[in-house]
Amino acid sequence: MLTGAGISAESGVPTFRGRDGLSMWKGMPFEVLSSSRMVREDLDEVWAWFDFRRGHLAECKPNPGHIALAEWEAKFDEFTLVTQNIDGLHRVAGSFEPIELHGNIHRAYCVECGERHDISGVPHEPDICRSCGGRLRPDVVLFGEMLPTGEFERAESRARECDMFFVVGTSALVYPAAALPVIAKQSGAFLVEINPEQTELSRLCDLSLRGEAGEILPLIG
């Protein structure tokens, strides 16, 4: 299972692309705000953007789509949830082991020593690192950065092995995550897409279910 921003749309979290996508903030495209260059040049603005998003998320709860996937994890022996989302809503819904390819907005790490800090419940830009006094930055993967070591490799090996691969609520434009359904399909999996809109991936899918994740997922499994 690969999820993207669309699975959290019904929880009130804006997507990036597609209808109603939050593609700009303060006049800047999200690809510019969420970039390694921005961390180097204006970490204050990066924090302002992520604080805005964390503030918004404080009001958001998992929806029936997240809950259905937590139930699938409990029900099926061989089930892997891979998400591009940083909102942590899969964990709140009860998923124990989501592979969070793009990190988690409720964590930060020190730009000097790398120590990780839990910032859930911290409403504004957190203080400096308790170990070395360096500045903290969000523990999320930004444009121009590598994915966390081992996470993509784990997802890729499950994609190669699986019988069935679901792609839910993603425009499937951002790599390497977007490669996972292609790898699964090439390895013989049955590929299912759940998305109200057509995507780059649709023509590769064995089945496209056009609708909202929170409505469709609880009807399957």
Return the active site residues: 102
Q: Does 11 bind ligand OAD (CB under 6 A)?
A: no
Q: Does 197 bind ligand OAD (CB under 6 A)?
A: yes
Q: Does 181 bind ligand OAD (CB under 6 A)?
A: no
**Shortest Å distance, C-beta 145 to ligand OAD:** 8
Element (H, E) at 75: helix 64-75
**Closer CB to ligand OAD, 80 or 104, in the complex:** 104
CA angle 37/40/114 to nearest 5° reads 115
Q: Does 196 bind ligand OAD (CB under 6 A)?
A: yes
Nearest to 84 by CA among 198, 186, 1, 184: 1
The neighbour count for residue 14, using CB atoms within 10 Å, is 15
Q: Does 4 bind ligand OAD (CB under 6 A)?
A: yes
Residue nearest to ligand OAD (CB): 6
CA dihedral 131, 132, 138, 143 (to 10 degrees): -140
**Closer CB to ligand OAD, 60 or 174, in the complex:** 174
The CA distance from 30 to 69, in Å, is 28
Q: Does 170 bind ligand OAD (CB under 6 A)?
A: yes
**Closer CB to ligand OAD, 100 or 125, in the complex:** 100
Among 66, 90, 102, 185, interactor with ligand OAD by CB under 6 A: 102
Polymer length in residues for the chain: 221
Among 11, 16, 73, 107, interactor with ligand OAD by CB under 6 A: 16
Is 151 buried (19+), middle (13-18) or exposed (0-12) by CB count in 10 A?
A: middle
**Shortest Å distance, C-beta 139 to ligand OAD:** 12
Strand 116-118 relative to strand 103-110, pairing: antiparallel
Interface positions with ligand OAD (CB under 6 A): 4-6, 9-10, 15-18, 21, 34, 84, 102, 141, 169-171, 173-174, 194-197, 199, 212-213
